[in-house]
Structure 1
Amino acid sequence: MYMQIISFSLRVRNWQKGWGEWVQNCPLTWDALVKLYVKAGEVEKAESILQKVVQGKKGRPLYGSYVTILEEYAKRGDIHNSEKIFRCMKMMDYLGGMAQYKLLLEAYKKAEKPAYGFRERMRSDNMYPGKQMLTQLEEVDAYKKRYISESIG
């Protein structure tokens, strides 16, 4: 598996060198690279592509590129990186609605960590959870867990 990833990385680098400047500055190319790296399990490299684009002021990455990375971090239960991508999306004015919040909440759920102030955070962004989201919020509600454990103990 490790050799496949190395081989994949080399092919991507060669592919990037072979194309002209116009392809390297194309959001669709960045999106394709992000998806390829995520599929290969290289989420950090996928994220670094977007960071280089934003820092180099080469353009604006696609919303889907950020969502792809956020989904993968959420599946892993990586709260820190999920929050980081979420903040990047807000900085880029990508407020896609409940999808981002659901993915972020999924990261908290996978990590089995309480999501302090999540409802208030949503309200401050004018997002109001539906029934499904309320159910998910109850699963990671720290106060409810604490109350249940205190009443049992």
Structure 2
Amino acid sequence: MSESGCRLGSLTWDALVKLYIETGEIEKADSILNKASQQLNMKPLQYDSLLQAYINAKVPIYGFRERLKADNMFPSKMLAERLAQVDAFKKTAVSDLLD
């Protein structure tokens, strides 16, 4: 839609990210989130949902903190706690590689 010239608001981007998260396509949701923040110079509402999807999948999320910094977003206390949960997955992934 955005490629055809339609202007999408933050609620539309938010709905698209939720749709991909609910279908289990985490990478696509991440891509949509990145595209929305780059094209429209806006801050989408779905950082928390995307992070929760990675927690549910028990998969490390690389570059998330950097994205927050690039978008001038400061994590809330709850978001910081969830980031700590995801960091534990990185340690597990590295130890699995070493075994």
Output the CA distance in 2 between the equivalents of 1:64 and 1:118. Answer: 21
Identify, as 1 or 2, the structure richer in helix.
Answer: 1
Distance of aligned partners of 1:72 and 1:110 in 2 relative to their CA distance in 1, 3 Å threshold = farther
Query: Which ranges of structure 2 fall in alignment gaps of 5 or more residues?
Result: none
Question: 5+ unaligned residues in a row in structure 1: which ranges?
Answer: 1-49
Are the equivalent residues in 2 in contact too, given 1:78–1:107 (CA < 8 A)?
Answer: no
Partner residue in 2 for 1:127: 73
Contact 2:58 2:86 in 1 (8 A): yes
The number of equivalent residue pairs is 95
C-alpha distance in 1 between matches for 2:58 and 2:90: 14
1:146 deviates by 5.2
Bigger CA radius of gyration: 1
- Equivalence for 2:11: 64
- TM-score, scaled to structure 1: 0.52
Higher relative contact order (CA 8 A, sep 6+): 2
Q: Could you tell me the percent identity over the aligned residues?
A: 31
Q: Which residue does the alignment assign to 1:101?
A: 47
Q: Distance in 2 between matches of 1:116 and 1:103?
A: 16
| Alignment match of 1:80 (pick from 19, 27, 36) | 27
Q: In the alignment, is the contact (CA less than 8 A) between 2:13 and 2:32 conserved in 1?
A: yes
The TM-score, its normalising length taken from structure 2, stands at: 0.74
1:111–1:62 Cα change, 3 Å? same
Q: Deviation at 1:144?
A: 4.1
